[in-house]
Amino acid sequence: MVIAQATNLGNLAMAQTCDIPYHVLDETCRQYCRLPTLRAANDRIANFIAQLPIFEHYSFDLEVLFGAVDGQKFEAATPTVKARHSRKYFSGGRGVVAYTLLANHIALRTELIGAHEHESHYVFDICYHNTTDIAPAMITGDMHSVNKANFAIARWFEMGFAPRFTSLQAQLKHLYCGDDIAQYDNFLIKPAGEIDRSMICDDPSIIEQTIASLSVKEISQQALVGKLCALSPHHRTRKAVFEVDKLVRSIYTHALHARPPAAAQFHRSQNRIEAYNQLRSFIAQVSGRKHLIGKTDLDVAISNECGRLLANVVTAFNSMLLSQLLERYQRDGNQKALDTLKKISPVAWQHIYFLRHYAFRNENPIDITAMLAGLDLL
C-alpha cells in the first residue's frame, strides 16, 4: 500500500506485482492510509535510526546538529486546488512543491505547498512542528529560504538559521549598523544603512505579541509574513519585525565574512538534502514519471507522505547495514575500515530493486548478518 502510493504505481498495478489481491490493498488503504498514521510511522523510523550506532557518525559537527530545508517540485497527476502552473518545472501542466526538513540524512517532516508560494514562508513552521526526537539546532537553506522576517523569527525561538548565500559579496547591501553610520566612513566594508533602534526598543510589546502568537500556534509563519507584507510600509509592527531581521541578518553576514570556512558546513548540510531529493525523485519515477497521484489535495499529501516513508525506510535499512559493519570493525580494531565506513552515505538505492515481484507474506526475515558475511571494505 505504502509502496504503491510512494512509487505512484497505484493499488491496481501493485496488486499485479505482489502476493496481495487488489481488494485487500484497496480496503487497507482506505482504513489505514491517513496523514496522522503515516507521520507517526515516519517519526518511529526516524527515532529508530537515531538509536543506531552509526547515527552519531552522520554528524559532521560534534557540537551542533545541522538540519536543512528545501523544496522539490512534483507534477500533479490530476489537477487539484493546490496544484499550480509553472512553465519552468511543469511545462504546460500543474504541480506542487514538497517542502522537506532533513537532519543527518533523515527526512523529519514534509509539507506540500503550492508552486506559486515562496518557500521562505514555511521555514519556521516546518521546524516548529517537528515531532521526532531529533531536534536540529542549526537550520540551513538556499536563497529561497530568505525573506525579511526569517532571521528575526529564528532568533526569537533560539533556532539557528544559516542560509547558503549564492554570493556573499552580494549580501553587503543587506549589511546594517547599530551605531551612527558616519563612524564607518573609513571602513573597508561599509554598512548599507543604520538600524532604527527606536522601532525595536521603544515598544517591546509589539514584538512580544508576535512571538506569543507564533509560540501558541495561533498563527502560522506563512500567515504572519503575509499579513506583515500587506501592512503599510510605515506600520509600526511591520517596521519593528523587519528591523530585528536586519539586525540578525547583519550579524550573520558579518560572521560569514569573518569566518569563511564556516560556510563549508552550510554547504555540506544543503548537499545532504540534495542527495535526499535525488532518492525521493527516483522513488517517484519508478512508475515512469515524476509526479504525485491523487484526486484531491489530501490524496496528494498522502502520496507525498508515503514517498517520505519509503525514503526513510531505505535510509533505515542502509543505516542498519552500516551499524553492523561499524560494530564488526570496532571489535576487530580496524581503524582504516572505520574511517572509510564513516564517509559512506546511507542515502543509496543502487542495491534496492523497486520494480520486482513483492512477496509481502514471506515469513522468512531478512538476515542482515548473512548479507554482510562476505563483505569487507578493506
Return the domain boundaries, the chain.
2-168+260-371
Return d(Cα 31, Cα 21) in angstroms, integer.
Answer: 16
Contacts of 64 (CB under 8 A, 6+ apart): 137, 138, 160
**What integer pLDDT is reported at residue 319 of this predicted model?**
95
Return d(Cα 230, Cα 122) in angstroms, integer.
Answer: 17
**What integer pLDDT is reported at residue 272 of this predicted model?**
94
Q: Counting beta carbons within 10 angstroms of the beta carbon of residue 364, is it exposed (0 to 12), middle (13 to 18) or buried (19 or more)? A: exposed
Return d(Cα 75, Cα 96) in angstroms, integer.
Answer: 6
**What integer pLDDT is reported at residue 98 of this predicted model?**
95
Return d(Cα 93, Cα 59) in angstroms, integer.
Answer: 39
The label of the residue with cell 558546513 reads 265
Residue 305: pLDDT over 90: yes
Q: Which residue type occupies 144?
A: H
Give me the chain's average pLDDT, please. Answer: 89
> Tens digits of per-residue pLDDT, 206-247?
888 888 988 888 888 888 888 888 888 888 889 999 999 999
CB count within 10 Å of CB 227 equals 12
Secondary structure element (H or E) that encloses residue 243, with its range: helix 236-258
Does the model's pTM come out above 0.85?
yes
Percentage of the chain with pLDDT > 90?
44
CB count within 10 Å of CB 220 equals 17
> Tens digits of per-residue pLDDT, 95-117?
999 999 999 999 999 999 998 88
**What integer pLDDT is reported at residue 359 of this predicted model?**
83
Phi/psi for 322 (5° steps) reads -65, -35
Q: Which residue type occupies 36?
A: P
Label residue 362 by pLDDT band (50, 70, 90): confident
Label residue 257 by pLDDT band (50, 70, 90): confident
The label of the residue with cell 528575526 reads 152
